[in-house]
Amino acid sequence: MASVYVTLATIAMVFISPVVVPALFFWGVFYDLFSSELPLGIDQPLKLRFYHSLMITTMVLGKILQKLGICSDLSLMRIVLDGIPPRRDSMLLIKDIKVDEVPLRIYQPKWPPTGKRRGILYFHGGAGTFGSIRACERICCYMAKKCNSVVVSVGYRLAPEHPYPGQYFDCLNATLYFMRNLEEYHVDPALIILSGDSCGANFATVICQILLNKRDLPKVRAQVLLYPGLQGLDFHLPSYQQNASVPLLFRKSVVYFCFRYLNKEPSGLEDVLQNRHVPESMKQKYKKWVSADIIPDTFKMRDYIPQKPTSYKPEVHEAIKEILAITFSPLLAEDSIIRQLPECYILTCEFDVLRDDGLLYKKRLEDNGVQVTWCHSESGFHGILSFFGYGIFSFLTGKKIMDSTVNFINSL
């Protein structure tokens, strides 16, 4: 009984105290000021600094609660990053279903269709460990209305509770369900689009590659990839250097969340950042596809310094070899796969560590004859769409990105 009172007292101290939470927030602001960089040209830097400070506060508070045995740090992060749920849109019919234990939320315009609609599957971001249907609801509602489309938001189960590579299977099963039930949703089988942001864009890319072997299903019409993460081979690319400390995704955080996603201790994090997890034979094999030399010079003008080669450590490779698999790094797929892929829309942000993943994938697709529509946001940063649809709390660039995405989908 005494332990119950201690737990209740701790919860009260953390959540009710007028001192603890504000103190943590001010510490988060202080930490952000000295650890992050907001380059000239980034969209609304003061607003971004405020949000990043809140994120830091949440992570620190989560660690405290985990130490106290109250909840995991990821649990608190998930609650905060889910955001505020919007009011149900009166112009949309919204239905929640489950397919093989995977939650799906389906958005359909209420107005009568003039013909069969596009079908858009959307996989949210969040490093495979957080994010949800609720977090991307505003994005999905916007696409459903502006594109007059049926949008299926996939709530794949999160790691580490649902281990890797379960997220890919969840996304694949959701896609197969939708493709086999297009008539029910009045969707044109020639207009199916796979989309996602961040790691969700990675899932969309992998599912597109897998579906090439499914001859009994409709062909995917297009991929829509919003600031995708597509490889775990090279963390020395120009964008990783230039944006190493730019919110909301630091260079070190990318590798840290890879470890969390795989449910492994990040003991070799620094070695992975130095590319010591990659065998020399693999570096040589893939340098034609993943290399700073391929990145256009215009993207190297801002604080880029070519890095010296680093030595391979087999024990580091063994610890995190999963990030070199094709499922984790679809950028490494063979040309025979890439050339069969559908038309692609790629969104990259200048102030994003993952920018060069998108640039490299763009080149691979174009080299293999796949049509690419590329949108580059000169003022955008990773995760900017997390704030889309919040009015004055959103970023102007986020609206421009969504309008560009909608225009591409409507052009199909």
CA angle in degrees (0–180, nearest 5) for 135-342-368 = 125
Pull the structure tokens for residue 295: 């990145």
Q: 352 catalytic, yes or no?
A: yes
| CA 141 remoteness from chain centre | 18
DSSP letter for 373, please.
E
Q: Which of 149, 198, 329, 377 is catalytic?
A: 198
Q: 303 catalytic, yes or no?
A: no
Q: Which of 195, 382, 386, 394 is catalytic?
A: 382
Q: Which of 73, 352, 356, 357 is catalytic?
A: 352
Pull the structure tokens for residue 378: 């000169």
Instruction: Report strand pairing: 222-226 vs 187-197.
Output: parallel
Question: Across 135-208, where does the E strand assignment appear?
Answer: 149-154, 187-197
- The answer to whether residues 144 and 194 touch, using CB atoms and an 8 Å cutoff, is no
Strand ranges of the sheet holding 187-197, from the earlier edge strand across to the other edge? 92-99, 102-109, 149-154, 117-123, 187-197, 222-226, 343-351, 372-381
- 42: CB partners within 8 A, 6+ apart: 48, 246, 351, 379, 381
| DSSP run (H or E) holding 108 | strand 102-109
Pull the structure tokens for residue 311: 């030595």
Q: 382 catalytic, yes or no?
A: yes
Closest by Cα among 388, 382, 394, 405 to 125? 382
The residues carrying an active-site annotation are: 198, 352, 382
